[in-house]
Amino acid sequence: MAGFLYFVEGFKNVPTPLDLAGLQLGHLGPVASGVPCESGPNGMRGMTLAVPQSELGPDGAEPKVGYYKDSQVWRQWGEYWIGYESQSPPGPGDLVRRELPGEGRGWPVKMGDGQEYVVPSVTFLPDRLSINPDGTLRREVKDQFKDLADLTERLRNEYLWKNRPEGEEAGGDAGGTGQSELEPLTELEQLRLGGGFLGLYYRIGDAEAEMLELWDDDSMREALRAILDIPGYLAMMDKKKEDAAGTGSEGL
């Protein structure tokens, strides 16, 4: 397997990070591998790019950088083209980030391409720490992850509402927030949330996810469970039950 390739029209040199952000490729990080191309997948001159080996994880492989139409698959996505070697489509090991933006739990999820990816839980979002004017500690998610945190909060309240105690009246409280105050996530918002968390761990944006056909009903359902850290919660509850049962046995 090997990583993705990207073609950007009109560039004579490797795009700067600012250029990449403008092309909606900021999630790639410092792309250093680039080869000038006289005729790319659209027949125009430009640069073929890839994430360099130095930025890949231990199991990642850099593709052969260049445009070779007989051995590659390409698709246009906005202002750039994305492709991969037809005999070596990218896998999780080729896309994982060498440096992760946070620390926390993640859970394996089988995606639409049949491979397992780690989807980070909400515990993965890095916090900013500061001191309030009254001397108390203030902890909040860093600004660049605020949208993900807000969507996760809505998902959490939706989950709590659907799993509320039997007999609780409609319009009641779901984890401290009225159900009427937080609308359930739309399917598009679920994709944004799942893709955003997956992108914390891997160099995967909308184009990469589409090329690999990562999302379907099953992978989205399991990814949302991972984001809420439900596997961790269930494991903790099982541990408590085991500990309680062990304590009861010792007392007999």
pLDDT value for 168: 59
Mean pLDDT of the chain: 86
Lowest mean pLDDT among 53-67, 194-208, 212-226: 53-67
Helix (H) or strand (E) run with residue 140 in it: strand 137-141
pLDDT value for 247: 66
Question: In this model, does residue 39 exceed pLDDT 50?
Answer: yes
Nearby residues of 80 by Cβ (< 8 Å), 6 or more positions away: 6, 7, 8, 9, 23, 24, 25
Q: How far apart are CA 89 and CA 83, in angstroms?
A: 9
Q: How far apart are CA 26 and CA 7, in angstroms?
A: 14
Q: How far apart are CA 68 and CA 61, in angstroms?
A: 18
Query: Cα 220 to the chain's mean position, in Å?
Result: 12
pLDDT value for 242: 75
pLDDT value for 180: 44
pLDDT value for 204: 95
According to the per-residue pLDDT averaged within each range, which of 12-16, 23-27, 206-210 is highest?
Answer: 206-210
- What residues pair up with 97 in beta bridges, in sequence order? 56
pLDDT value for 174: 42
pLDDT value for 183: 78
| Dihedral-angle region of residue 171 (phi above 0 means left; psi in -120 to 50 means alpha; beta otherwise) | left
Domain ranges (residues) in the chain: 5-95, 106-234
- Structure tokens given for 70: 């007989």
Task: Report pTM.
Answer: 0.83
Question: In this model, does residue 250 exceed pLDDT 70?
Answer: no
Q: How confident is the model at residue 249 (pLDDT cuts 50, 70, 90)?
A: low
Q: Integer distance in angstroms from the first to the last C-alpha of the chain?
A: 58
The answer to whether the beta carbons of residues 103 and 206 sit under 8 Å apart is: no
Q: How confident is the model at residue 173 (pLDDT cuts 50, 70, 90)?
A: very low
* Each residue's pLDDT tens digit, 105-121: 789 999 999 999 999 99
- Structure tokens given for 108: 């394996």
Query: Cα 72 to the chain's mean position, in Å?
Result: 25
Q: How far apart are CA 18 and CA 24, in angstroms?
A: 10
